[in-house]
């Protein structure tokens, strides 16, 4: 199913039927949370990412570039390694990932909701990893895999579309600092780094394309008889900006909302858990940590009530 295809849904509002076209990735969230009296085809509830129980996003651990910008002068960005602290952050992230693959969590003593005992190492489902090709993300994944039982790993795939924003090739320390300062004034989403660099908009577009691939993979896993699973977990080991732009695309945040957000810390594990409407939800802790708004307070809904916002540069 192509990512840019649209699902046609029937909404019932005030006793009338109106037909709207809604991006099918966010369809259940859009309908259930914004049109509480609406009805829709229940089959969509299982077709956003069929068989997927959760999505985990992980920012790589601390790298040499995070502690010294001069590392980029003589070393290609994609070859910057982790620090020892970064490796430890990655191992901690791996333990959190492993806890999601076990019944309950590390503190529940292996007791299920019905009161019966069950082993903590019993699987909740398999996990598939997508990893940015950068050295620091691959090293982060290596440390994560030390904490995850191999029998639960369905696969690992390198994915260039979730790589870091391109800042140019070997970077002049003074030039890149000047560019980043200029980016603040211009706007981080549309500012394009000179000499072959990317804008945030470029990263947004490639992350959007990756979501379509992720959807197609989910359909393939669901239909592959020899890999029936009790809820697959998808894990992306990526970069701070790519994480925010993935969330921007997934939850349809506006450019203004992106501009007010900020990267998660190194080694941060962000989990999208299933929502009752069949979609996925960002936890309040993660939402606040990155500065994203509550769902019902998103600007795309405010626009419906106040068209004057379209005239404003800042909201």
User: Is 164 marked active-site?
Assistant: yes
Closest Cα partner for 234 from 131, 151, 127, 102? 127
Of 164, 257, 259, 281, the active-site residue reads 164
* Distance (Å, whole) CA 148 – CA 143: 9
User: Is 35 marked active-site?
Assistant: no
* Sign of the dihedral defined by the CA atoms of residues 22, 46, 233, 159, in that order: negative
* Token duo for residue 275: 């929502």
Strands (E), 225-303: 232-238, 269-274, 280-282
Of 24, 60, 100, 229, the active-site residue reads 60
Taking 3-state DSSP, the helix, strand and coil percentages for the chain, each rounded to the nearest 5, stand at 45, 20, 35
Per-residue buried b or exposed e for 119-150, using 16+ beta carbons within 10 Å of the residue's own CB: eeeeebbbbbbbbbebbbbbbbbbbbbebbee
> Which residue numbers are catalytic?
60, 164
């Amino acid at each position: 199913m192509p990512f840019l295809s649209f699902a046609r849904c029937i909404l019932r509002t005030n006793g009338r039927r109106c037909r709207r076209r809604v991006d099918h990735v966010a369809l259940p969230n859009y309908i259930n949370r914004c049109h509480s009296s609406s009805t829709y085809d229940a089959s969509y509830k299982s077709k956003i990412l069929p068989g997927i129980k959760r999505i985990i996003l992980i920012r790589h651990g601390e790298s040499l570039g995070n502690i010294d910008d001069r590392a980029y002068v003589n070393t290609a960005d994609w070859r910057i390694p982790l620090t020892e602290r970064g490796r430890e952050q990655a191992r901690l992230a791996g333990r959190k990932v492993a806890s999601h693959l076990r019944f309950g969590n590390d503190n529940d003593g292996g007791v299920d909701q019905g009161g019966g005992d069950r082993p903590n190492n019993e699987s909740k489902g398999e996990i598939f990893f997508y990893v940015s090709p950068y050295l620091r993300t691959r090293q982060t994944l290596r440390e994560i895999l030390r904490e995850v039982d191999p029998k639960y790993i369905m696969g690992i795939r390198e994915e260039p579309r979730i790589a870091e924003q391109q800042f140019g090739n070997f970077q002049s320390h003074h030039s890149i600092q000047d560019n980043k300062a200029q980016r603040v004034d211009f706007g981080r989403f549309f500012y394009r780094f000179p000499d072959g660099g990317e804008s945030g908009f470029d990263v947004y577009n490639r992350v959007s394309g990756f979501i379509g691939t992720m959807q197609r993979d989910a359909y393939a896993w669901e239909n592959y008889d020899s890999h029936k699973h009790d809820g697959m977990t998808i894990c992306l080991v990526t970069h701070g900006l790519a994480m925010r732009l993935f969330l921007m695309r997934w939850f349809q945040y506006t450019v203004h909302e992106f501009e007010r957000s900020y990267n998660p810390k190194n080694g941060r594990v962000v989990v999208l858990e299933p929502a009752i409407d069949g979609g996925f939800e960002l936890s309040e802790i993660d939402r606040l940590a990155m500065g994203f708004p509550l769902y019902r307070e998103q600007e795309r809904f405010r626009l419906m009530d106040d068209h004057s916002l379209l005239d404003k540069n800042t909201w």
